[in-house]
């Protein structure tokens, strides 16, 4: 089965740029979705099909996908962006999530 690899944690100062990566074999040929999950809340879709911002998601969030790495980029990071972020794709009809990356805003 397809494996998605994420770094366990990323830390960034407010106002800086956070890059959260998702590694997989030739992931650039896949459609990757990204979710934000805060404790005690339901996950929220932030990015669909690699680079399409979901409804209501600020322009500070962007996505890319090429080769063996998909990336979620958060510019001008705010305290409210602190959360776990998960990448996800379909392989081909089975859902696969990455292990998640905890974004800490310093």
Partner 1 sequence: VQLVQSGGEVKKPGQSLRISCQGSGYTFSDYWINWVRQLPGKGLEWVGHIDPRSTFTTYNPSLQGHVSVSVDESLNTAYLQWSSLRASDTGIYFCARQEGGLDGLDFWGQGTLVTVSS
- Residues at the site binding partner 1, with contacts judged by CB under 8 A: 1, 31, 33, 35, 37, 42-45, 48-49, 54-55, 84, 86, 88, 90, 93-100
- Strand segments, DSSP code E, in 1-106 are 9-12, 18-23, 33-37, 44-48, 52-53, 61-66, 69-74, 83-90, 95-97, 101-105
- What's the closest the beta carbon of residue 14 comes to partner 1, in angstroms? 25
Nearer to partner 1, 13 or 50 (CB): 50
Do residues 84 and 22 make contact, with C-beta atoms less than 8 angstroms apart?
no
- What's the closest the beta carbon of residue 45 comes to partner 1, in angstroms? 5
């Amino acid at each position: 089965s397809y494996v998605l690899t994420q770094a366990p944690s990323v830390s960034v100062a407010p106002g800086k740029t956070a890059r959260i990566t998702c590694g997989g074999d030739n992931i650039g040929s896949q459609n990757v979705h990204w979710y934000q999950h805060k404790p005690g809340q339901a996950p929220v879709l932030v990015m669909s099909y690699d680079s399409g911002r979901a409804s209501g998601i600020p322009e500070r969030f962007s996505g890319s996908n090429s080769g063996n790495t998909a990336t979620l980029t958060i510019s001008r990071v705010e305290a409210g962006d602190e959360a776990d972020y998960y990448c996800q794709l379909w392989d081909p009809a089975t859902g696969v999530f990455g292990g998640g990356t905890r974004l800490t805003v310093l």
